[in-house]
Amino acid sequence: HPDPSCTHGKMPSHQWPEAWASLQKTVVTLCLLCSTSLSPTRGQARIPLETVKLWADTFGRDLYDTVTKYSGSLLLQKKYKDVEPSLKIKEVDGLELVRKFSEDMETMLRRKVAAVQNLVEAAEEADLNHEFNESLVFNYYNSVLINEKDAGGAYVELGAEFVLEANAHFGNLLVNTSLSSVQLPTNVYNKDPDILNGIYLSEALNPVFVENFRRDPTLTWQYFGSSTGFFRIYPGIKWTPDENGVIAFDCRNRGWYIQAATSPKDIVIVMDTSGSMKGLRMAIAKHTVSTILDTLGENDFVNIISYNDYIHYIEPCFKGILVQADRDNREHFKQLVDKLMVKGVGVVGQALSEAFQILQQFQEAGQGSLCNQAIMLITDGAVEDHRPVLEKYNWPHRKVRLFTYLIGKEVSFADRLKWIACNNKGYYTQISTLADAQENVMEYLHVLSRPMVINHDHDITWTEAYMDSKAQSMALLTTVAMPVFSKKNETRSHGILLGVVGSDVALRELMKLAPQYKVSPDQAPRYPLTPSIPVFLARGARLCLFEYRSYLPRGS
């Protein structure tokens, strides 16, 4: 605690007028000095050099006296002199410091990876032993409904008593460290058979959550995000809807889920803006494009082409190229999509040709993700014969997947769009309402993940640093995530992704390992430490995450 009598603490109020007067004097002197640096104008007398030197000396003395008097530097020097005999200089081995920091960080992060691997094994084993039951009736702890009562004082369905206590380790949030709870977005039905069966088998994760936390008390949130939309989180919490009563959080749109569930990808979105797309169809198409953009991450590359009588890059600066799908570019694309207008007749053949050429050029130049490539065709119908374009650019190897989205309730062109998708290793879906977009768009992720699922590539994914919002708390962290696959013999060849498990690592926990008291801010570690772990670097207020190739997404 500071000593009120120390002059290097807060300045006493009676000294303020004196300090202010000194500063005013210094400022006036400085202004005079600055004015002499200007060339004299006509009729203005030139100031002698000796006078300027005198002003400079006066300014320097005044500034030194003011800073010395009010900064407490003399007192600080005296205190240092008093303890100087007991001080000594000790040489620090910088390499040894870095090596120790590296080992401690690697040990910590390996524990996080081990916890996630335990969850993957438990989830896949639970699925292997579970038989799907279409009529399953099962009560679970719904994060929104827990502890809620009806008018008669009885707990509502799926809202049983759920003990919650404030926990400092979890930001003083009310949590239950004995159980997990389940959150579902508003657009996912909480009694759907797929949902109920998935939640039922994922109950097997509860003891694993608890045991992981017992073994490693530095663990924070652990969770399982299902491909069907539910989100099991430990420790259990109560989830509060927004002011409109909506739960917008969907785990399948989160960066950790997308990066773990799919490989990096190059995407060209081809959007129909012809006259037939007016009204509700255009609103649905815009929402579909926005939803696709939400499924992309910083390892992906994207561009958007609209077409009617002609083809248009919605951002002319990005003509003929792909850009990284980072947050800024995604938001920029969304703003441009909102401004699109409909007119003319759709000429989709030219748009598809342009999209194929972009992907081909990037692949040949070794640019982009160097992994999956796909075209998303969003239209209310296709009247042209696409075979010549497909034969020229994509057959017979079909390196580019083509996903087709039929907008509106009209089904006249459904067969043609299905044919395009099925003959180009893609997927067809119809989006009739705004509410359909979320679930139908997510299907393309399942298709892109199939090769990885069939090969059972349990790659470990580390996300870039981001602000947490999943538990309605805010903290800068990274997530380690792994995909969960179905191991049943009858589904193994289909490549079924069950979901993604993950665990958060707060940057503050990593920074605790750094021997900051032994190094100056400019000497803090700013480079990769070991070849097997991601490294967080701190310099001032900037935090970055570097990933080594062993943890980079596939295809990088």
| pLDDT tens digits, 298-323 | 889 999 999 999 999 999 999 999 99
Pairing verdict, β 428-431 and 461-462: unpaired
How far apart (Å, rounded) are the C-alpha atoms in residues 246 and 228? 18
Strands (E), 144-190: 165-167, 173-176, 181-183
Residue 385 burial class via C-beta count within 10 angstroms: exposed 0-12, middle 13-18, buried 19 and up? exposed
Lowest mean pLDDT among 86-90, 247-251, 252-256, 333-337: 86-90
Dihedral sign computed on CA atoms, order 366, 401, 338, 436: negative
Could you tell me which residues come within 8 angstroms of residue 373 by beta carbon, excluding any fewer than 6 positions away? 265, 266, 267, 359, 363, 399, 400, 401
Residue type, 266: D
In this predicted model, what pLDDT tens digit does every residue of 110-162 receive, in sequence order?
999 999 999 999 999 999 999 999 999 888 999 999 999 998 899 998 888 99
Residue range 500-526: mean pLDDT, rounded: 72
Among 39-48, 275-284, 301-310, the least confident range? 39-48
End-to-end CA distance of the chain: 52
Which of 93, 104, 216 is CA-nearest to residue 510? 104
* H or E element, residue 237: strand 236-237
pLDDT at residue 5 tops 50: no
Residue 29: which pLDDT band, with cuts at 50, 70 and 90? low
For residue range 398-443, what is the model confidence (pLDDT) as tens digits?
A: 999 999 999 999 888 899 999 999 999 999 999 999 988 988 998 8
Query: Which runs of E-coded beta strand occur in 346-411?
Result: 372-379, 401-407
pLDDT of residue 75: 84
Residue 10 has pLDDT above 50, yes or no: no
Mean residue pLDDT of the chain comes to 83
Q: How far is CA 473 from CA 221, 468, 470, 481, in A?
A: 11, 6, 7, 20
Q: Which one is predicted more confidently, 471 or 540?
A: 471
Count of beta carbons in the 10 Å neighbourhood of residue 502:
26
Higher pLDDT residue, 7 or 167?
167
Instruction: Give the pLDDT score at 347.
Output: 84
Convert the pLDDT of each residue in 203-256 to its tens digit: 999 999 999 999 999 899 999 999 999 999 999 999 988 888 888 889 998 889
Share of the chain above pLDDT 70, in %: 81
Neighbours of 311 (CB within 10 A): 18
Cα 49 from Cα 10, distance rounded (Å): 40
pTM of the predicted structure, to 2 decimals: 0.73
Cβ atoms of 465 and 507 within 8 Å: the answer is yes
What's the pLDDT at 87?
78
Decide: 189 and 230 in contact? Cβ < 8 Å. no
Using pLDDT thresholds of 50, 70 and 90, give the confidence band for residue 189. confident
> 322-350: string of b/e by CB count within 10 Å (b at 16+)?
bbbbbeebbebbeebbeebebeeebbbbe
DSSP string, 310-329: SEEESSGGGTT--EE--HHH
At 529-556, the pLDDT tens digits run: 333 334 444 333 333 333 333 333 333 3
Q: Does pLDDT of 287 surpass 60?
A: yes
Greater pLDDT, 98 or 19:
98
Q: pLDDT at position 12, please? A: 52
* Nearest-angstrom CA–CA distance, 66 and 70: 6
Range with lowest mean pLDDT among 4-8, 175-179, 333-337: 4-8
CA–CA distances in Å: residue 323 to residues 327, 368, 438? 11, 8, 24
Phi, psi of 337 (to 5 degrees): -65, -40
* CA 455 – CA 468 distance, rounded (Å): 32
- pLDDT for res 83: 84
Worst-scoring range by mean pLDDT, 11-15, 230-234, 476-480? Answer: 11-15
Is the distance from CB of 334 to CB of 288 less than 8 angstroms? no
Portion of the chain with pLDDT greater than 90, in percent: 47
Q: For residue 515, which amino acid is it?
A: P
CB 212 within 8 A of CB 119: yes
